[in-house]
Structure 1
Amino acid sequence: MQRDGQIIYFLPLCLLRDRRSWMGASGEIGDKKGREHILEIQLKRTYPKCPPSISADVPYIFNLEWSMQSRLKNVIRQFQEHLEKLQEFWSILEDIDKSLWVDDMKASFATSYRQINIGNDSFIMLSINASDPRSLPEIRFLGSGPSVNVMRKTWQKNSKRWKKEKPFLENLASLLETHLPGPPDVLKRDQQVECGICYAQNLPIDDELGNKSGCGTDYTCDNTNCSRAFHSICLGDWLRSITTTRQSFNVLFGNCPYCSEPIAVKINSSKQ
């Protein structure tokens, strides 16, 4: 079957449930983003007087509109309309999967939560409202490290600042006041090419930078769960902008902007 340019595959099946004969069909329906969703339709002997039972890999099932004149094609049409309503929800989850360190990348389309690894055996459990995915998500902080306690307090302090018109990940970073670590493979690749602050591979060619002119990243966070790379000049400038940073001689002491672990960066006297 083909509908609106989407190919729908359905196979008839016969099941025996509670000593009653059930007939039905099972198949995959593609949405506009190319995602394929499994839909199962089960019919009782009283069909079409009674509506069919449906199950699918979606976060919640829609209310099926049914009458004596309704047929299976009406179920499929309503399911497609339901998929359309969930597009933004799935797009947000895909952005999270691509941009953050998600523990379980095999989550089904029915899953509305993500467990984010923030390093040091600590996690953030995000639960997104499938019917209103741009709304403030439910969040749980898992772990006992100091960074978890800081994030929990920061979230509670800033939760009213969530704005639906802003991108989900931008909202998340704004409320937590920190950048969450990306997927391990992305971090590894980024360490070789980009500074975590200026996002450039090399510093500009500039006489004022002295022997750092045109150099690549030369500082890496010691936290193995982070290992973000920086230009020491960029990191030094960033640390100077943080009021909690301490300085002893030519060394700045502060926290990594990505994982909040303690860091110490040597600086040039000319940059003070």
Structure 2
Amino acid sequence: MANPRAMPHASMYRVVYAEIEEVGWEHLLYLEKDLSSLCFRVLDEKERRHDLLIELPQNYPEGLPSITADVPYLFYLNWMANSRLKDVVQQFKEHLQKLQAFWSTLESIDKSLVIINPKRPSLASSYRQICLGDGCSLLLCINARNPATLPECRFLGPEVATGIILKQWKRNGRKWSNDRPFIENLSLLLETKLHGPPKDCGVEDNQIECGICYAQYLPLGQLPCEATCNEEGRKSFSFDGEPLLAGEVLIEHSVSSSVSRDLGFIVGFCSIVSWSCLTEQ
């Protein structure tokens, strides 16, 4: 067990308090009593909230602080002998400015398309799994440094259907333009109009969820067990502590010919909601 950090000298408290004053106490979320770390709230130009965690070494301000934030990648902290906390915050703001196009691109995707995963994306998340219909989905990885470029992708779903879409993607790959809106580029390469979010399609959230797709979000060892059908004939599952039926459903799903295993996930076509899903093994 690591030894607890010794309480700093009074002079360090004076230094840190003075530097917090420069940033503004109203932006401080918390400060550890031993001054080992503190956290500032920072808003970017679109009013997105970012929590900047700064860890201070015991020899601060001579020692270099370390930073943590919910961003796709961190920046190199330029620290000199006369640097202060306000310099850390300023460099972080400059980094956020570089990421505006990245977040705007993801927000346009979330607003315009049917997103299967992630359900609650963080600001650090750079991937989206998009429903294409007919049991197919597209897993996109957006370049955070240059979001307008052609993204890395993977097609999920029945082999025949995804094979056709993949050929279209490769055939049209050269048509991608960094000056064209991201969604428009996707539609051009896929040669189809992409689906809008569920509210535009008249499909409620509880109509597209199922035990196969969402079992990964339950506590370890627990599975939904009760299957019901709504008016549209779609199946949904509820949890009551006895994972018998869902266990059978998941076992049947995991051994079917429509799934494959990759990096600890079961990847395959979900017969309940008619698109591909990722489920942890």
Range of TM-score over shorter length = 0.5 to 0.7
Q: How far apart are the structure 1 equivalents of 2:141 and 2:27?
A: 31
- Structure 1 residues 72, 181: CA separation in 2 closer, same or farther (over 3 Å shift)? same
- Asked if 2 retains the 8 angstrom alpha-carbon contact of 1:40 and 1:56, the reply is yes
Q: Normalising to structure 2: TM-score of the pair?
A: 0.61
Cα RMSD of the aligned pairs, angstroms, is: 2.6
Partner of residue 171, structure 1: 185
Amino acid at match of 1:9: L
The 5-angstrom pairing of residues 83-98 of structure 1 reads 83-98=96-111
User: Identity percentage over the alignment?
Assistant: 44
Amino acid at match of 1:91: S
Q: Deviations over 1:172-222 (max 9, x none)?
A: 111111112111111128xxxxxxxxxxxxxxxxxxxxxxxxxxxxxxxxx
- Asked if 1 retains the 8 angstrom alpha-carbon contact of 2:39 and 2:53, the reply is yes
Residue 94 of structure 2 is aligned with which of 57, 81, 94? 81
Q: How far apart are the structure 2 equivalents of 1:101 and 1:3?
A: 44
Which blocks of at least 5 consecutive residues in structure 2 are unaligned? 1-19, 204-233, 235-273, 275-281
- Structure label with greater radius of gyration: 1
Correspondence 1:130 to 2:149: no
CA drift at 1:118: 1.8
Correspondence 1:44 to 2:57: yes
CA drift at 1:50: 2.1
Q: Deviations over 1:79-134 (max 9, x none)?
A: 00110110010000000000000013410000011011223432100000000010
Amino acid at match of 1:94: E
Q: Which runs of 4+ in 1 moved over 6 A?
A: 1-4
- Asked if 2 retains the 8 angstrom alpha-carbon contact of 1:57 and 1:109, the reply is yes
Q: How far apart are the structure 2 equivalents of 1:22 and 1:125?
A: 42
Q: Normalising to structure 1: TM-score of the pair?
A: 0.63
Q: Deviations over 1:221-268 (max 9, x none)?
A: xxx9xxxxxxxxxxxxxxxxxxxxxxxxxxxxxxxxxx9xxxxxxxxx
Which blocks of at least 5 consecutive residues in structure 1 are unaligned? 15-20, 190-223, 225-258, 260-272
Q: How far apart are the structure 1 equivalents of 2:139 and 2:123?
A: 17
Partner of residue 234, structure 1: none
Residue 172 of structure 2 is aligned with which of 118, 142, 158? 158
- Asked if 2 retains the 8 angstrom alpha-carbon contact of 1:122 and 1:145, the reply is no
**Greater share of helix:** 2
Q: How many residues align?
A: 184
CA drift at 1:28: 2.0
